[in-house]
Amino acid sequence: FPSHDTWTSYAVQVTHSCGTINLTVTMGTAPCYKLSGNAQTLVISGENCIQLTAEINNQTGCAWSEDPVDFSCDFVLSLDYYFGNNINGADGNTFTFQPNPTAVCGQNGGQLGAGGIANALSVEFDTYDNDFPAHVYDMSCDHVAIEIDGNLLGPGAPLCGPVCAKSSAGNIDDGGTYLVEIAWNSTSQQLDVYFDHKQQFIVTGK
């Protein structure tokens, strides 16, 4: 992914009924991210991808966008997720919104790289059952939840979920690529989360 130094400026002229406007638009060839831990960029089938961790024990990686998300405006984020190809693997990952300027990762393992990040909202994609056999706030199926307290292992319940990611209660670390969509309506203060075209959560802000 390019740094800001590789961005290019273009002169754009817009003509409409009220006259002509000259604009300068600065664009890069891809979004900019700050990578931490074991995260790295890869090109797969011509596409720019971020690999958070390789299939190695005790790995932690994160990628933070350098462009803050503006919650005063509506937005829809569409993400292609690949969770690996090992149904016995662990632990999963999150898509986390956080206001902190640091780009470091949170706690790893069952905290999915987001544990301990203050004032964060995390959409959790959990591929490992950490509280077997109790199944209090974890589940045997690969699942999705929303966390806001910076602790993905409890003792408190998630804000929403967990629910099985797939209606079949199967694994998502099965070599497939899954579409994740996160939509925010700034007027209604509503956050919708979809996994593989299925709506999982509707959260209304306060």
pLDDT at 5: 44
pLDDT at 137: 78
Q: How many CA atoms lie within 13 A of 197 on its CB side?
A: 1
Task: Give 197's DSSP letter.
Answer: T
End-to-end, the C-alpha distance of the chain in Å comes to 36
The two tokens of residue 80 are 């292609």
Query: What one-letter code names the amino acid at 19?
Result: G
Residues 96 and 193: their CA atoms lie apart, in Å, by 13
pLDDT at 23: 59
- CB atoms inside a 10 Å sphere around CB 69: 12
pLDDT at 195: 96
pLDDT at 3: 37
Backbone angles phi, psi at 178, to 5 degrees: -120, 140
- CB atoms inside a 10 Å sphere around CB 114: 25
pLDDT at 2: 35
Residues 137 and 151: their CA atoms lie apart, in Å, by 12
The two tokens of residue 81 are 């997720």
Per-10-residue mean pLDDT, the chain, length 206: 46 55 54 88 89 90 90 93 88 92 87 90 92 76 92 85 92 94 95 95 83
